[in-house]
Amino acid sequence: MLLDQAQQLRTALDRHRELKKASGKASVFRSRAVQFGPLATDLTKAEDVRRALLAEGVEVRAPSPLPQARQQAQTLLAKFRDDRDSLSDADPAIRHAFTGALKSAIAESGKTSSEAWRAMVVAKADIAALDQVLSALENLSAYAGAVARIRQLDAILIGIRDTIPEAGAVKERLDALNAAVKARSEAIGAIEGGDVPPTVLAFLRKVAQGGAGLDDFTVDVRDWLVARNLLAGFRIVPQRSAS
């Protein structure tokens, strides 16, 4: 009886040691999953957004090459396939160099995509270009309705400009952008309902789309602006030459 109990106790202790060892491995795997899982998810999302933008014709700068991080990832994967216990190695390169490189890649990808998205929206509708003109025109009852409509569309465009879409929503957001740009152009055209001559309207439209040239600033345009105390709302800015 005593021998049987001793044998059972030994078996229970051996089982306990095996479970404890397995628990330790599970803890290591869980730690590595917590360490790498979110980074892998964020990097995948960032890359998906970049590719979705490129697919829709948005020019996004190529990411910086990270050959060392790529090599580390391949080495880690190969070691894990050969030996599941390899992830328990307390390698400082994993904790610092590799994870740091992943975080930098995620941040860079998000930044370049956001910059490309913003630049594309501004190129389609430079909201700030017409702000002073609208501030002057909204005080005139003949243009108050058109200006209010333009302001509403500007708010929509600002929201589109400042929020980069998820990968699956890029096309939908581009459609919304194009619709808002078209509606804004039509709202600017509604100013024709007042006493705006074609030359003045053409001038205002060019200002709204990025800038009018000196040739567009005719005597008729100047007289129209002066008569309505709007001249101070404009300024001459040299155009930057393309480099």
DSSP string, 96-121: IIIHHHHHHHHHHHHHHHHHHHHHHH
Alpha carbon distance 37, 181 (integer Å): 40
Dihedral angle sign, alpha carbons of residues 163, 169, 170, 175:
negative
- What is the token pair recorded at 103? 């975080």
pLDDT in tens, 40-54: 788 888 889 999 999
Burial of 194 (0-12, 13-18, 19+ CB in 10 A): middle
Contact 137, 147 (CB under 8 A): yes
Classify the phi-psi angles of 229: left when phi > 0, otherwise alpha if psi is within -120 to 50, otherwise beta. left
Per-residue pLDDT of the chain (243 residues; tens, 9 = 90+): 433 433 444 454 445 455 455 455 555 556 655 666 777 788 888 889 999 999 999 999 887 776 666 666 666 666 666 666 656 665 655 656 677 777 888 888 899 999 999 999 988 887 776 776 777 677 667 778 888 899 999 999 999 999 999 999 999 999 999 999 989 888 887 765 456 677 887 787 777 666 788 888 899 888 888 887 778 777 777 776 544
